Amino acid sequence: MAASDWASKDFYKTLGVSKDASQADIKKAYRKLARDNHPDSNPGNKAAEDRFKEVSEAYAVLSSPDKRKEYDQQRTLFGQFKGGFQGPPGYGQPGPGGVDFDLGDLLGGIFGGGRGRSRRQPQGRRGDDLETEASITFQQAVEGATLPLRMTSEEACPTCHGTGAKPGTVPKVCPKCQGSGMQTGTAGGVFAMTEPCDHCRGRGMVVEDPCGTCHGSGRAPSSRTLQVRVPAGVKDGQRIRLKGKGGKGDGAPDGDLYLVVHVAQHPLFGRKGDHLTITVPVAFDEAALGATITVPTLDGPPVSIRIPAGTPSGRTFRARGKGAATKAGGRGDLLVTIDVQVPAELDDESRAAVEALRTARGDQDPRASISTEAVS
C-alpha cells in the first residue's frame, strides 16, 4: 500500500483503539480482530476477509513506532489541508515508510508460519507465569513425591475455536459500528466522545448463532491435572519451576508454573540436609551407667543405639544410613541427640536412691569449674 492512502484511512478506528493507545493495546486489539476475522475461521465470508485485510493493514502501520509517527504526521497534515486539498509535494507516491504486504505475509506473521516474506512483525505473546501452592508431608519431602496438581484456566473454546459462533456459522461484522467496535457516544455534550459499541460490546463482530458450548464467549474454562514430581529433599517454602506448564502462549512459548511447596512439620523428626534428626529422652541412670536405647526411624524399623556410660545431655550419636534418601541414591544418617531427663517427681525408692547418690558424691562440687576461685 502506498503512503498516499494513509491519510484517508483511520487506522485507529479500524482497530477500535484511541489515538494515544499503547503498542500493547494496539497489538491486543489487532490480535482479537485478526483472529475473529481470519479467513480460516470464516471460510467464504467476504466481509470477514475484507475486514481482516483492513485490520491487518492498520496494524502493519500502527505496530511500527516509526510508521505510526509518519502516519500521524500525514494525518495531521491532511487535516490542515482538508477541503480542495490535493496533497503536499510528493504526495501520491509511495512514501519512504510505505508498507507493502500481501495476505501471505500477514498470515506468516500472525501464525508464525514460513509463508511470509521477510517483513514479518514480531508476533506472539508468551504465556503467563503462574504460581500455585501444595502442601506435602514431612515424609513426602524427604522421599520426593508425585503430586496431582489440578490447574484451571481459560482457553479458546474447543467447539468453536474461540470465535463464539456455532460450528458452521461465522461471527458477522457488527452492523452498528461496521466492525470498528467504537461508536460516537450520546452523552458527550459539546465534544463527541467515542466509546465501545454497545451492540457488539466493542468486539466489532456479533455472533448471531452462539456456540452451544461457550454461549458465544469463545472462551472455555479448562482444567487439567498435572503430575508434578517434587524432588526428594525439597525444603519448606521452596519454589519449584515447571517450565512450560504455565499459561498458554499465543504464538509464543507457554509460561512457567511455579509451585511453592509447604512441608508439614514432623512431630519427631527434623532435617539437616540429607540427615534426619531426632531428640531422644534418656533417663539419668541410662546416661550415667550406659544403655542400649531403641530409636524410631522415619520409614523403617527402629534402630538400637548403644549409649556409653557417662553420656552427657546434648551429645549426638549417628545411625549411619538411617536418614533421608540422597539424590545420589544413598541415604543420609539419623542424628540422635540425647536429652537426659530429670524426674519431676520421685517415689520413695527413687528418692532414697538419689539421696544415697548425693551422700556418695560427698563434698565434690559440681560447679567447681565455674567457681570464682577456680578462674581467678
Residue 199 interacting with Zn ion (CB under 5 A): yes
Residue 353 C-alpha from the chain's centroid? 66
Q: Which is nearer to Zn ion, 16 or 332 (CB)?
A: 16
Q: Which is nearer to Zn ion, 145 or 174 (CB)?
A: 174
Residue type, 334: L
Residue 213 interacting with Zn ion (CB under 5 A): yes
Q: Which is nearer to Zn ion, 18 or 23 (CB)?
A: 18
- Contact yes or no for 131/258 (Cβ under 8 A): yes
**Count of alpha carbons within 13 angstroms of residue 166, beta-carbon side:** 5
Residue 214 interacting with Zn ion (CB under 5 A): yes
Find the binding residues for Zn ion in span 237-296 (CB under 5 A): none
Least Cβ distance, residue 16 to Zn ion (angstroms): 9
Q: Which is nearer to Zn ion, 126 or 176 (CB)?
A: 176
Q: Is 350 helix (H, G, I), strand (E, B) or coil?
A: helix
One residue of 62, 145, 160, 338 binding Zn ion per CB under 5 A: 160
C-alpha span between 99 and 128 (Å, rounded):
32
Least Cβ distance, residue 48 to Zn ion (angstroms): 14
Region from 205-213, 243-251, 288-296, 340-348 binding Zn ion, contact rule CB under 5 A = 205-213
Give the burial string for 30-42 (b: 16+ CB within 10 Å, else e). Answer: bbbbbbbbbeebb
Of residues 151, 111, 119, the one with CA closest to residue 252: 111
Q: Which is nearer to Zn ion, 157 or 305 (CB)?
A: 157
Q: Which is nearer to Zn ion, 141 or 206 (CB)?
A: 206
Residue 197 interacting with Zn ion (CB under 5 A): yes
One residue of 176, 248, 315, 331 binding Zn ion per CB under 5 A: 176
One residue of 64, 139, 153, 159 binding Zn ion per CB under 5 A: 159
Least Cβ distance, residue 222 to Zn ion (angstroms): 12
Would you tell me which residues interact with Zn ion (CB under 5 A)?
157, 159-160, 174, 176-177, 197, 199-200, 211, 213-214
